[in-house]
Structure 1
Amino acid sequence: MSETTTVVVGRIGKPHGIKGEVSVELRTDEPERRFAPGERLVAEDSGRTFVVAGYRWHQGRLLVRFDGLGDRTAAEAARGSMLTALVDPAELPEEQDAYYDRQLVGLRVLAADGTQAGEVTFVVHLPAQDLLEIRTPEGDRLVPFVSALVPTVDLAAGTLTLADMEGLLDDLDAPAEDDGPGPERGSDDA
């Protein structure tokens, strides 16, 4: 049996209707994959197993039917359960050049010249783009996770390489270098 990793995929929300269907607050970018009929999900708190019987989209929300949740009372009892899935750690997202957070966290960060610059400690998801939190000897830094700044991700080697861009891992609030005296100011004692 191959090793697996547990990932959170959603949280059971309010019941929908009287036949046990529930809304699910998603924690995955791949709901069609994680909530496909026959998928087995486990409640994080109780260890209860939920087998997906089917799903559909309704007004922008995912509605799921689970085996064993046959009525509104059973659905209400499951409300709030955080659902997890067991996945192969080597599994990649269906989208090309996409990665799961669990695959990025822990990667060694290399500068363009190949020297080690730090380690990825967290992935921040923002509406415009994702940011990699990188622990460096000087402290934590945030780097936009875009191909122009992170041209290479090598999961097999356990590394990602940053673009050759001056200041990419520098402090934003570091004092500017002194370029000599500034312009002379007049006195207010006129």
Structure 2
Amino acid sequence: MAVHEHKQNKHFVSCMVLTISDTRNTMTDKSGDLMVTLLERSGHQIVEKEIIPDESAIIKEITSSGIEDPKVDIILINGGTGIASRDVTIESIQPLFEKELTGFGELFRMLSFQEDIGSAAILSRAIAGVRKNTVIFATPGSTGAVKLAMERLILPELSHIVHEIKKDING
């Protein structure tokens, strides 16, 4: 029952934020920091924040540990979603999904096309899915992409998504 009541009777959720990058560090992780700032501003809690390399085994291991952690409702991943050979986030996390939220990637690409990067949106492989009552979102690593995904899609539905996933187990 990790969905908690916030002061204003609004549900807040416990989040793990992962930045996938071989080059970013705690001083240069603008996208991970933006995710944290937007989540906290909305009243959500950050359980863990990490920067991990573009290595499939590590991505799977850290994501799986978040899935198994009862304190984590949502895992938000940024980076490693492109088409370069080092971009292995999608291949690493998609097999973990029990259910894929295909609408997230579809809407993100549509919004990216319309409001951010135009036809380069076809290069985006952003996805979301559910495993063991934990929601996983994977966005590109650019701050523009993170801002768009968080403000237009993830934050408006975050509490609702967790409620839907947990309603059968919460009674």
- Fold shared per TM-score above 0.5: no
Higher relative contact order by CA 8 Å / sep ≥ 6: 1 or 2? 2
State TM-score, norm by structure 2.
0.22
In our comparison, the structure showing a higher alpha carbon Rg is: 1
State TM-score, norm by structure 1.
0.21
